[in-house]
Structure 1
Amino acid sequence: MKMKGVIHTFLGELILTEEDGYITAVDFDGKEKAEEEKNTEYTPLMLEAKKQLQEFYEGKRDQFTLPLNPKGTPFQKKVWEALLTIPKGETRSYQEIAKLCGNEKASRAVGMANNRNPIPIFIPCHRVIGKNGALVGYGGGLPIKEALLRLEGSML
């Protein structure tokens, strides 16, 4: 069964989706959708996700320990698994992630997989930057990417 709930964060309202005991999506369009999702009951997993996000924002948590089930192609899932290895406060280039996935020439494909990450923040696609250190692309917008990196103490 699929459940959705709005969680309020310093980044704005996020819509969290849980399906069959897994977090399957985080949507940054919470402002627009918050009203329609307002009366959703929160599952224990959603409440735990909200708690862990709050701890993360407060600097009390470095890693999330939530069951995640992103839907995507095998290559996308390989990229998302690689993203989970980037420690809080660090960044990697698209090329570095491509190497981790076994094909150092797949930087563009890594970028596309990053763009299609359905569970941002929990799967830290914000930690991937351009080879030259530039902040490039983020589903929630570059200001949110920059805010997350600053929160984590990444050198920009």
Structure 2
Amino acid sequence: MTSVSKLTDHSGYWMRMVSNAVSQEFARKVSGEDVTVAEWTLMRALYDLEPTSPSVLAERMGMTKGAISKLGERLIAKGLVERAESQEDKRAHSLSLTKEGRAKIPVVASLADENDAEFFGVLTKEDHETLDRILKALAERRELKTTPVD
């Protein structure tokens, strides 16, 4: 009979278990601010880069221009992001946070900090630093660039 590994024999199983729990709780928290995790990631990128074209955002976040446009439209409808036409090229535009969107960044960032503290606060400082170092090394060595939005 062929030996079949258990689900729990795989690092990916444990990473997904923790990732799902962290992500689902964060999604619950940000929903109270009327944004999704995906919307938050775009808003946070704009906070540092605005005003920025959707193509630059797509490249920086490792997403498609279509995905950025869709998120942008949702945030424009919520009054958190605004679009401005380029003066040089009327077909081009940039996205930036509205005053309301900019004010929401520290609030949601605080929720992200709180979420991290709740989940990873059970680790020693050294274990948390080791975990971060290993995860960052994996992302770098596997050349992972797509911003996680789910």
- TM-score bracket for this pair, using the shorter chain length: under 0.3
Structure of greater relative contact order (alpha carbons < 8 Å, 6+ residues apart): 2
Instruction: Please report the TM-score for the alignment, with normalisation by the length of structure 2.
Output: 0.26
Higher strand share: 1
Tell me which structure has the larger Cα radius of gyration. 2
Task: Give 1 or 2: higher helix fraction.
Answer: 2
TM-score, length-scaled by structure 1: 0.26
